[in-house]
Amino acid sequence: MELPFAEPWRIKSIETIRRSRPDEREAWIREARHNLFNLRSEQVYIDLLTDSGTGAMSAEQWSEIMLGDESYAGASSYYKLKESIEEILGFPHFLPTHQGRAAENVLFSSLIGTGNEGQGMIVPGNSHFDTTKGHIEFRHAEALDLTIAEAFDTESEHPFKGNVDLERLEAFFKATPRQRIPLFMLTITCNSSGGQPVSMENIRGVSALCKRFGVPLFIDSARFAENAYFIKVREEGYGGKGIREIVREMFAFADGATMSSKKDGIVNIGGFVAFRAREDFERAMTFNIMYEGFNTYGGMAGRDLGALSVGLREATTFEYLEARIGQVGRLGASLIAGGIPIQKPCGGHAIYLNALRFLEAVPRGEYVAQTLAVELYREGGVRGVEIGAIMADRDPVTRADRFPALELVRLAIPRRVYTDLHMEYVAAVVGAVWERRKAVTRGYRITREASILRHFTVELEALG
């Protein structure tokens, strides 16, 4: 008899959360100007806004918190992390930063520039995430999405929807002068297309084209361990390989990587940018010292460097990934069974609701994904996040809204935080909104927004 699955850990500490009343939630979301980022954490029952920095650390990681060496230069905690990065990812050089977008800032300052030097430059990739695209466009460069077409068909069961369209990439390289392409940015897993993985075959193909045309390849590796898991379970020839063996092969194709350690580092703060070549590392050092701090601490405390050195090791174990991705998959299966439209197959860190098929009566110009996200909060205190027109921002030239192919609501699952009973509650909340979906016919208009990355601080007014 095959025994049932159980998580490879036990709970040692808890945090009390409170279920709110519908009238409370109605008042709170109005006060927040219908922006879920503006809610206080205690106003949220199940918080699926992000999996970034919201995970639970292990006893071994908390031990490193107490052992942290806070020396300004040459801290032992730095060398613990250096050893983990070199052993697991294979990069001999790295610069610590306070989080992933800081790593992007350091890398793009080095390769694109710090002002308007990016004018006319193009950074190809597979559905760049919001901060990546923001940093590129802030430098007056263009972020070019070359993700395969299957990524935008939520019903397609393609196992690697994060893949790059290699034919389009080759055509782009042939048609574009090399000096206009500072780098290729490959995101694994691809968050904006639904937490979808990139196959090893595709990584190899991207690398070959980049080498052929002399373009540096960098990996946005926030969820690299989850990507390795999908390669192991979905790609032919990798079932018998270990997670770390797969990780080393993935990164062997790259010149470097950025990392938001708040994801697959399983820490609450931190990031880094890693390099294979010493000269790339030295060119970026100046920017790291200017923006983040000295090279052996960057934007991180010694205790967090130590916790991350352990987190990278824990995140690259099959048992942990099986439990983590399995929980996401079980929530997805429950929603699919209820007829609810989601991005298929389920990704590694989140479930993505297809808002265009969910709230078909809401006009596209009234921010349908944001409307659905607000309804989930109203229904049961579940906070997700819009991955749609608001996050897509305005065109830098015309200032018109950009409407992406997909309007999604992401339900991002924190690592080692919620139980499957919490996921059952989430499924019930989504199901309740699905049952009354035809009654939701109007959305929102923007009353205040920032000039870039507006989704974090946007203010909205209900229509109808």
pLDDT at 130: 79
Over residues 200-228, mean pLDDT: 97
Over residues 384-401, mean pLDDT: 89
Question: Catalytic: 145?
Answer: no
Residue 37 has pLDDT above 90, yes or no: yes
Question: Catalytic: 420?
Answer: no
pLDDT digits (tens, 9 = 90+) for 132-144: 988 898 889 999 9
Which listed residue (165, 220, 255, 393) is catalytic? 220
Residue 267 has pLDDT above 90, yes or no: yes
Question: Catalytic: 129?
Answer: yes
Give the chain's domains with CATH numbers: 22-51+324-462 (3.90.1150.10), 59-315 (3.40.640.10)
Contacts 24+ apart (CB under 8 A), 365-371: 365/401, 366/442, 366/443, 366/444, 366/445, 366/463, 367/443, 367/444, 367/446, 367/460, 368/407, 368/443, 369/407, 369/408, 369/409, 370/34, 370/443, 370/444, 370/460, 371/440, 371/442, 371/443, 371/444
Question: Catalytic: 262?
Answer: no
Question: Catalytic: 220?
Answer: yes
Over residues 165-184, mean pLDDT: 97
Mean per-residue pLDDT of the chain: 95
pLDDT at 395: 83
Which listed residue (5, 72, 171, 361) is catalytic? 72
E strand or H helix at 227: helix 224-234
pLDDT digits (tens, 9 = 90+) for 102-118: 999 999 999 998 878 88
220 pLDDT tier (thresholds 50, 70, 90): very high
pLDDT digits (tens, 9 = 90+) for 55-86: 999 999 999 999 999 999 999 999 999 999 99
Residue 393 has pLDDT above 90, yes or no: no
pLDDT at 135: 86
pLDDT digits (tens, 9 = 90+) for 338-385: 999 999 999 999 999 999 999 999 999 999 999 999 999 999 999 999
pLDDT at 192: 78
Question: Catalytic: 238?
Answer: no
pLDDT at 285: 95
Predicted model pTM: 0.94
Question: Catalytic: 275?
Answer: no
Which listed residue (263, 344, 349, 422) is catalytic? 263
406 pLDDT tier (thresholds 50, 70, 90): confident
